[in-house]
Amino acid sequence: MSEINYKKELATIKKIAVTNGYSADMINSLLTKKRKKHAIGLSTSLLPADINNGRKWCKLPFFQKLSYKIGNLIPKDKYKVAFYTPHSLKKSLCKNKDTIEKTNLSGVYEVFCDCGASYVGQTGRDFTTRMKEHKKCKENGDETSMEAKHLLNSGHDCEFDPVILHVADKGRKLDALEQIEINRRKKSNKPLLNELLYYTSSPLLSIDFH
């Protein structure tokens, strides 16, 4: 890398560091340490342990006073302690995967009426979309949704804020998880709005899918 490109790259790194709350001085300090290490490597054939009078490096995460206390317990004649921060610049800048909210996934859910009864259902799409469908059925007087049917006939209300019981893709496992949750509530005599109950003697009921 040419000197001009080197300076441009260094300026870019400093700018990124300052934007994320780090100081340019910290970058300069790291650069100085790197240069020193490189210079030592060019000027000697000794191993790191030889340079430090036979001591080996011991790397510890830095958590303020606790790290110093732990460091003091390490034999100084055998090890040289170096601290590092778990929250590095790389971790702050590199986020390869976005966090996915559970409401944007599919699975088995439970919604509660203000009377205390609940409805257990499944969706192969995201939970948010399914809740919008329940709500729309209520608004349009559509009784194809069991939850909406109960609300329309009773005059009760529902927040349509689902409790997510399981996250799963559409398929046989999703069907089984829904059946298990329905059966659990039926057996515990909890007020449930579901009309149909499948495979009450199925061995799937003994499996814990959590």
Higher local confidence (pLDDT), 119 or 73? 119
- Write out the residue range of the structural domain in which residue 150 sits: 102-206
Contact 86, 128 (CB under 8 A): no
Amino acid at the residue 77:
D
- Tokens 């100085």 label which residue? 32
**Candidate from 64-68, 91-95, 126-130, 141-145 with smallest mean pLDDT:** 91-95
pLDDT of residue 174: 92
The reply to whether 111 and 201 lie within a common domain is yes
* Of 161, 135, 162, 167, nearest in space to 148 by CA: 135
Determine the Cα–Cα distance for residues 147 and 138; give it in Å rounded to an integer. Answer: 8
What angle is formed at CA 109 by the lines to CA 189 and CA 135, rounded to 5 degrees?
A: 105
Residue 4 lies in a domain: yes
pLDDT of residue 49: 46
Determine the Cα–Cα distance for residues 71 and 81; give it in Å rounded to an integer. Answer: 6
pLDDT of residue 117: 92
Higher local confidence (pLDDT), 26 or 152? 152
Contact 122, 175 (CB under 8 A): yes
The reply to whether 121 and 40 lie within a common domain is no
112 forms bridges with which residues in the sheet?
A: 118
The model's pLDDT over 13-40, given as tens digits with 9 standing for 90+, comes to 777 777 777 777 777 777 777 777 766 6
User: How many domains in the chain?
Assistant: 2
Q: For residue 6, what are its two tokens? A: 């080197």
